[in-house]
Chain A
Amino acid sequence: MSIKHELEKSLPKSLHFTSAEKEAVFERIHKRKKRRFQVFPALAGVLVLIMVAVLIVPELTSNRTAQDMTIEKLVVPDTPYPSLINAIYVDETSELIFPEETGLYSYSESTGKEQLVSLPGTAYNFAATEKWLIWSDPAEGGAVLNVMNRSNQQVTTVEGRYFADLSIKENTLVYQSGGEGFYVMDLNNQEVELLHETIGGSHSKSALKGNQIVIPEENDGVTKIFIYDIQTMERVNEIELPFEIVEYVQWSGEFIYSQGRNEDELPVLLQAQSQTGEVQEIQTPEFDEFAADGNRIALSVAASESDTVMLYELDELKVRPLNTLDHIEERLTRPRFTEEGTLVLNSEGPDFAMYILEP
């Protein structure tokens, strides 16, 4: 009996690409075309207005650059793209930290690529600052959380069921454990306290900024975001977002931004005021993914036959394009801001360069 036949036997029966599914592909493609086509008549009018505006009010065009931003291109040698899209940027040391199959690595222009810790497989749950490197390993019946003090390389381990959604603020770690909830750990002594008990699921990670963390939970077609102070361990606010799915929750000043959508709908950019709980929709072009910091919004928008990241400036509840990234030819992906306001982007050029835009 051939290996091919043996492999096929391990598949569910009737795993075929049916005619109905094929037609569904065509329907989706034609819907996209139709959507673009429907935009054209309205677009023609808008274009006339824009041209007038270009002549009268030059600042309305994309001929604007984000002030005081430096752009650095980093090419990390011998590193696959799937590792780089999971890279985090540490502002204090100007280094990227990313997982590979053989461990966790760092890269900076000054030190080059270095292995921080050797691991038997790729660690997707990890967090890092200048002082700490934390990752979780699967273990029999649960998981192990590894806490490395980077100054002396000392590693302390903590056993548990599951450690995910790791965020570090100075000497404090916030993480999600099991389906139970979010915990706060003092990294100096590994003492743990329950912060938030979870009931629903979520399409987004939590977001930590300063002493405040926002934790999203989806339940019965709506999403709630819970805000806690991790020093006092008190709930500061609870805000309801009227969407089945909320993704990419993140802080920007006193606002919490997120991407809300219902099944089969395009996402919208949401801004929630953390203290008053007021939720507003930001007018944007059609987008797939975003990142926000201050008045800067990075959106992954349609470009030619594909999409790429463009930078925008937030003006009240609308965005205006900036030309900061226009000179970059490669397709840009995965926008994310650090707490210090550094924008980190991946690119899909031949060298998979990363772009770091520092304020």
Chain B
Amino acid sequence: MKNDEKDRLLRNAMEEHGDYLKRLIYTYVKDVQKAEDILQDTFVKFYTRFEQFEKRSSVKTYLYRIAVNEAQNYLRSWSFRKVEFADRLRTFKQGSSAEDQYIKSEGNRTLGELVKELPVKYREVIWLYYYDELTVNEISEILACSPNTVKTRLSRGRKLARISIEEGDYEY
């Protein structure tokens, strides 16, 4: 493929999916600057590995797969675990105890807050399904797992955030 054509496809992909991908990455890393970095890495990889997605999947699922992999890699990285540890230590020093967390959990929290605290495997399917409006099959392709696994995680994720969802306040 010619470079001009690749540039055009990249620009279209950035216009069409950039905002959503940045928000999705943020839900993993919870840091705006890091989300920016990972999003740029995602598009650079998308460009440099362009030939790999052709005929195998849509541009959208291919892009999301790169972004999710990049974000997950960061979460597994040594540097992230350092940051996470520093945060834990700070919380520990500030005395945010299990009791504080319990009181907070009993408070009137929003759906977003509840989802934010879910384990990654439930959180990611909820974001991909409800926010990015991807189908179960697309999510299974992105996460490299079976559609049944996606359905199970969606169901479990919904249960864990049931306080709001089951009240029927939300359209889904």
Task: Say whether A and B bind each other.
Answer: yes
B82, A201: Cβ atoms under 8 Å? yes
Using Cβ atoms and an 8 Å threshold, which residues of chain A touch B7? 26
Q: Are B88 and A162 touching (Cβ within 8 A)?
A: yes
Is A28 interfacial (CB-CB < 8 Å)?
Answer: yes
- CB < 8 Å: which of A3, A15, A305 contacts B52? A305
CA distance in complex: A24, B89 (Å):
35
Check: B23 CB closer than 8 A to any chain A CB: yes
User: Quick check: B130 and A203 within 8 Å, CB to CB?
Assistant: no
Evaluate contact between A15 and B32: CB separation under 8 angstroms: yes
Task: Answer whether residue B105 sits at the interface, using C-beta atoms and an 8 A cutoff.
Answer: no
CB <8 Å contact, A29 and B119: no
In the complex, per-residue mask of B39-64: 1 if CB is within 8 Å of any chain A CB, else 0: 11001100111111000000000000
Of chain B, the residue at the smallest CB distance from A306 is B49
Are A25 and B40 also in contact (CB < 8 A) when A3-B130, A4-B131, A15-B32 are?
yes
A113 contacts partner chain B, Cβ-Cβ < 8 Å: no
Query: A28 near B130 (CB under 8 angstroms)?
Result: no
Can you list, as one digit per residue, whether each of B82-115 has a CB less than 8 Å from chain A (1) or not (0)? Answer: 1001101100100001100000000000111101
Of the listed residues A7, A81, A101, A164, the one surrounded by the most CB atoms of chain B closer than 10 A to its CB is A7
- Given A7-B115, A81-B144, A201-B82, A17:B22 Cβ within 8 A: yes
Q: How far apart sit A21 and B36, CA to CA, in the bound complex (Å)?
A: 8
Chain A 44-67 interface 0/1 with B at a Cβ cutoff of 8 Å (1 = within): 000000000000000000000000
A112 CB-CB contact with B under 8 Å:
no
**Contact pattern, B 145-172, Cβ under 8 Å of A = 1, otherwise 0:** 1000000000000000000110001111
Q: Which of A207-250 contact B (CB under 8 A)?
A: 247
Q: For chain B, what secondary structure do more than half of its interface residues adopt (helix, strand, loop), or is it mixed?
A: helix
- Sample of 4 more A-B contacts, CB < 8 Å, known A9-B110, A82-B76: A1-B170, A2-B171, A16-B18, A21-B36
Complex interface bits, A296-316 against B, C-beta within 8 A gives 1, otherwise 0: 000000000110000000000
B170 and A2 contacting across the interface, CB-CB below 8 Å: yes
27 contacts between A and B (CB under 8 A): A1-B170, A2-B171, A3-B111, A3-B165, A3-B171, A6-B110, A7-B131, A9-B112, A10-B116, A11-B23, A11-B27, A15-B19, A15-B22, A16-B18, A21-B18, A21-B40, A22-B11, A25-B14, A25-B43, A25-B47, A80-B145, A124-B76, A141-B92, A164-B85, A247-B78, A306-B48, A306-B49
- Evaluate contact between B48 and A80: CB separation under 8 angstroms: no
**Residue in chain A with minimal CB distance to B17:** A17
Task: Tell me whether A146 is interfacial, beta carbon within 8 Å.
Answer: no
In the assembled complex, the Cα of A178 lies from the Cα of B82 at a distance in Å of: 10
Chain A residues, CB < 8 A from B116: 10
How far, in angstroms, from A309 to B35 measured CA to CA in the complex? 28
CB atoms of B39 and A17 under 8 A apart: yes
How far, in whole Å, are A187 and B54 apart by their CA atoms in the complex? 53
Query: Which B residues are CB-close (under 8 A) to A80?
Result: 144-145
**A10→B145 CA distance, assembly (Å):** 27
Contact between chains at B115 and A10 (CB < 8 Å): yes
Given contacts A140-B98, A205-B78, contact A22 B44 (CB under 8 A): no
> Which residue of chain B is the closest to A86 with respect to CB atoms?
B76
* B82, closest chain A residue (CB): A201
Q: How many residues of B contact A (CB 8 A)?
A: 58
Q: Which residues of A contact B36 (CB under 8 A)?
A: 21
Contact A7 B121 (CB under 8 A): no
Give Cα A191–Cα B171 distance, bound, in whole angstroms.
57
Give Cα distance in the complex from A21 to B35, angstroms: 11
A17 touches B21 (CB 8 A): yes
Contact B81 A164 (CB under 8 A): yes
Would you list which residues of chain A between 5 and 36 have a CB under 8 Å from chain B?
6-12, 15-17, 21-22, 24-26, 28-29, 32
CB atoms of B121 and A6 under 8 A apart: no
Q: Given A10-B115, A15-B23, A80-B144, decide whether A29 and B169 contact each other with a Cβ distance below 8 A.
A: no
Q: Are B51 and A202 in contact (CB under 8 A)?
A: no
CB proximity to B under 8 Å, residues A154-169: 161-162, 164
Report Cα–Cα, A5/B155, bound state, in Å: 20
User: Does any Cβ of A come within 8 Å of B137's Cβ?
Assistant: no
Contact indicator B92/A161 (Cβ below 8 Å) = yes
**Residues on the B chain within 8 Å of A141, using CB:** 92, 97-98
Known: A16-B22, A205-B78, A305-B49. A25 touches B44 (CB 8 A): yes
Q: Is A179 an interface residue (CB 8 A)?
A: yes
